[in-house]
Copies of this chain bind each other. A is one copy, B any other.
Amino acid sequence: MSAARTDAERVELANTALYEAMERGDTAAMDRLWLDDPDTEVSCVHPGWPVLRGRSEVLRSYALIMASTDYIQFFLTDVEIAVVGDTALVTCTENILSGAPSETEGELGPLVGQLVVATNVFRRAGDGWKVWSHHGSPVLAGREDEEEDDAAEPGA
């Protein structure tokens, strides 16, 4: 892979790496990818979950999810990256295909498709970018071209 040249390219690599670490179940990579700064607490919202805060709670949640997921693959679409100073904000759609362990040992359970949207915030750290916040949520109210659907929730 050639060296990333712009900040936006570096941020996109960091964003992709977050999902690749999930796919591989790579807890060591997760540890490296998340911001490690005692002055700046990280936060994470998995789809349908409450807010998790702090590196240890966030990394533990990923370890738990990865341990209970035999197979997961992310197809990222609609990735938009904004870099302002030392902060970057990424929004994207996660098209997820995942399978939990089967009840029959050695087999994969049925695959499930999921549509999730994410807002990921990164901080510049040295010459790289680290995850400061991840917020993923299930898309329940139709696709983008139907966003004015009456079924949408009234919450902010």
Binding site for B on A (CB under 8 A): 18-19, 22, 39-41, 43, 45-53, 61-62, 64-65, 68-69, 72, 74, 78, 80, 82, 84-87, 89, 91-94, 96, 98, 100, 114, 116-119, 121, 123, 132-144, 147-148, 150, 152-156
Contact = CB atoms under 8 A, between A and B. Distances in A.
A33 to B, nearest CB: 11
Contacts of A41: 80, 82
B50 A139 contact: yes
Contact of A132 (B40, B89, B123, B132): B89
Given A50-B117, A72-B154, 16 more contacts: A45-B135, A47-B137, A47-B140, A48-B138, A48-B140, A49-B141, A50-B141, A61-B147, A68-B150, A85-B86, A91-B133, A94-B156, A114-B155, A134-B156, A135-B137, A136-B156
